[in-house]
Amino acid sequence: MKKSKKIAILGLVNSGKSTFLAALWHILKNNKTKASLAISALPENSTYLTEISRSWLQFKELSRTPTKRWYENPLTLKDRANEKEYDILIPDLAGETFFHQWFHRQWQGKYKSLVEESSNYILFIHPSVEKPELLSVVRRAYSKRFNEELPAEESPEEPTIKVWNPEKSPTQVILVELLQFIMQFKKSKIRIAIVISAWDLVNNDPLCKFKLPTNWLNGNLPLLYQYLTANPEYFCFKTFGISAQGGDLQTQKAQLLEHENASERIIVASDTDTSNDITEPIKWLMEEI
């Protein structure tokens, strides 16, 4: 029997949502690589997915998703292992939608309905997160204790007062609140894939200590990690590190072009495995809690 599921994609501006969908559609459409999921029936309208996946294939930077548009993306997929079929709806929204919700404490009716009707979520996080700043008073105490120099603009006697800029708010604070908004409306536990996008940046960073997706989440966004792990009655989560593009389009294009098959540039890392199968998070979401 076919099951219908709605998947809500969440993620702030530039978190890698559209690039993931572009690569996903290319892989599903071409059906050459052994992805866990395959298309069962072509959607009536796939103009948007075709457009973004063409740009993905041609190494073109995707345009920012417009704030007023709502790309539904209905897909019928089947699990190759057991032939189970799923109708899924996986809308691509602009990252501003989520930032505005956090800042103005309001959400669009359509997005609210999607949240109410979905029990499956993907949260995208780009590795260049906004980190919390230490309070001035803590910084001064640290500098005294460890004989470290304070930033030039900070006097050792007087704390610096900075004007609050919402854009500079720590990513983890915004994301925890976005999940809290959702949980107010959910009666049951949700399944959520946490996707650290542009995973090639993590892999290629010699200074990064966290090379497993869950370690990365814990090390860089500890508040979000603790919120997810401290509430097992609300969340069933799994962390993935995904590079849907394979690398940076400006500096690594020549390297990316060397792959014979476009799917080879995709990296999908879990804490235990690495593959090129971009359908993995969706397959995991389809499993029952």
Ligand X SMILES: Nc1nc2c(ncn2[C@@H]2O[C@H](COP(=O)(O)OP(=O)(O)OP(=O)(O)O)[C@@H](O)[C@H]2O)c(=O)[nH]1
Selection from Mg ion, ligand X, none that 244 binds (CB < 5 to 8 A by kind) is ligand X
Residue 280 interacting with ligand X (CB under 6 A): no
Interaction between residue 262 and ligand X (CB under 6 A): no
Question: What's the rounded Cα separation, in Å, for the pair 254 and 188?
Answer: 47
Pairwise CA distance, residues 72 & 192, whole Å: 19
Min. distance of Cβ 127 from ligand X in angstroms? 9
CA atoms of 51 and 58, how far apart (whole Å): 11
Q: Structure tokens of 184?
A: 């107010």
Which one-letter DSSP state was computed for residue 265?
A: G
Considering CB distances under 5 to 8 angstroms, the limit depending on partner class, which of ligand X, Mg ion, none binds residue 248? ligand X
Q: How far is the CB of 188 from ligand X (least distance, A)?
A: 27
Residues 37-76 touching Mg ion, rule: CB under 5 A, are 65
Pick from 91, 95, 213, 281 the residue near ligand X by CB under 6 A.
95
d(CA 118, CA 63) in angstroms, rounded, equals 27
Q: Compute the least distance from the CB of residue 204 to Mg ion, in Å.
A: 23
Q: Which two tokens stand for residue 43?
A: 């959607």
Residue number with CB closer to ligand X (7 or 198): 198
Among the listed residues 235, 198, 196, 233, the one whose alpha carbon sits nearest the alpha carbon of residue 218: 196
Residue with tokens 């107010």: 184
Q: Does 239 bind Mg ion (CB under 5 A)?
A: no
Binding-site ranges for ligand X (CB under 6 A): 11, 13-19, 61-62, 64-65, 94-95, 124, 197-198, 200-201, 243-245, 247-249
